[in-house]
Amino acid sequence: MEQRKKIMIIDDNLIDQMITAHVLKSNNTTNEDLLIMENAYLALDYLEANKNNLNAMPSLILLDLDMPGMSGYEFLQHYKNFSQEIKSLCRIIVLTGSDIQADIDRVEADPYVSKLITKPLSKNQLIPML
């Protein structure tokens, strides 16, 4: 039986959530469950609640940087507190509309971020990462 991959989308913007989900679903070669989180708090709650159920962990997290309440930067700070086992299971790709070099440098320096992709997301940007 093929194990399904879970992809977590953390984005407060409904339109960006829809675009990201559409790009993922339009790729016929992947078999994923999408976990859509409207904010970083919900994402951290999910990860914490499932920390002992590794099958529930996403293999990929698509993280928006600019969110109210808790930003993507703050999410990354909290994410560092999870076990190494969880961090090794979950790759993080940051999605951002920012072109501020300081933001880009900060994200690229984070050891848990695999890639930075500028919004709007396109299939050509994301599919090679899958």
- Give the model's pLDDT for residue 101: 84
- 24-34 pLDDT, tens digit each: 887 654 556 89
Reported as a pLDDT band with limits 50, 70 and 90, residue 20 is confident
Q: Which domains does the chain carry?
A: 5-129 (3.40.50.2300)
What strands lie across the sheet with 32-37, from one edge to the other?
32-37, 5-10, 60-64, 91-96, 113-118
pTM of the predicted model over 0.85: yes
- Give the model's pLDDT for residue 52: 94
